[in-house]
Amino acid sequence: QVQLVESGGGVVQPGRSLRLSCAASGFTFNNYGMHWVRQAPGKGLEWVAVISYDGSNKYYADSVKGRFTISRDNSKNTLYLQMNSLRTEDTAVFYCAKDASSPVWGQGTTVTVSS
């Protein structure tokens, strides 16, 4: 079955970096665009970034543009989110999701930015 498993979350100080990973299985990974979505504590869902099936196109939310980089390794069926210059307001659960007519989401990984 289709499965997405995020990892890489943790506690980090403001200004530091973190890289999230999303391991995909159960579908042909290199046929689909992939998204990152986050949810701050007690808040709603916020779209973060998307990457096309081949990695040639990437788009970002204004709130993370210039600080976050989405990438993928189709040989490893893995999606990444490199997060630099982290801020306290980046504290959230981060989900990866498959862009399909019937979207599939992972279970999320928690990022806490705190001094």
Partner 1 sequence: QSVLTQPPSVSGAPGQRVTISCTGSSSNIGAGYDVHWYQQFPGTAPKLLIFGNSNRPSGVPDRFSGSKSGTSASLAITGLQAEDEADYYCQSYDSSSWVFGGGTKLTVL
- Binding-site ranges for partner 1 (CB under 8 A): 35, 37, 44-47, 50, 57, 59, 61, 95, 101-108
In the bound state with partner 1, the residue whose beta carbon lies nearer, of 17 and 31, is 31
Q: How far is the CB of 16 from partner 1 (least distance, A)?
A: 26
Q: Which two tokens stand for residue 110?
A: 């928690």
Residue 46 amino acid letter: E
| Residue 86 beta carbon to partner 1: minimum distance, rounded to whole angstroms | 21
Coil vs helix vs strand at 67: coil
Complex with partner 1: residue 27 or 47, whichever CB lies closer:
47
The answer to whether 115 and 13 have CB atoms below 8 angstroms apart is: yes
Considering beta carbons, is residue 13 or 57 the nearer one to partner 1? 57
Q: Which residues pair with 7 in a beta bridge?
A: 21
> How near is the Cβ of 106 to partner 1 at its closest, in Å?
7
Nearest to 77 by CA among 9, 18, 8, 31: 31
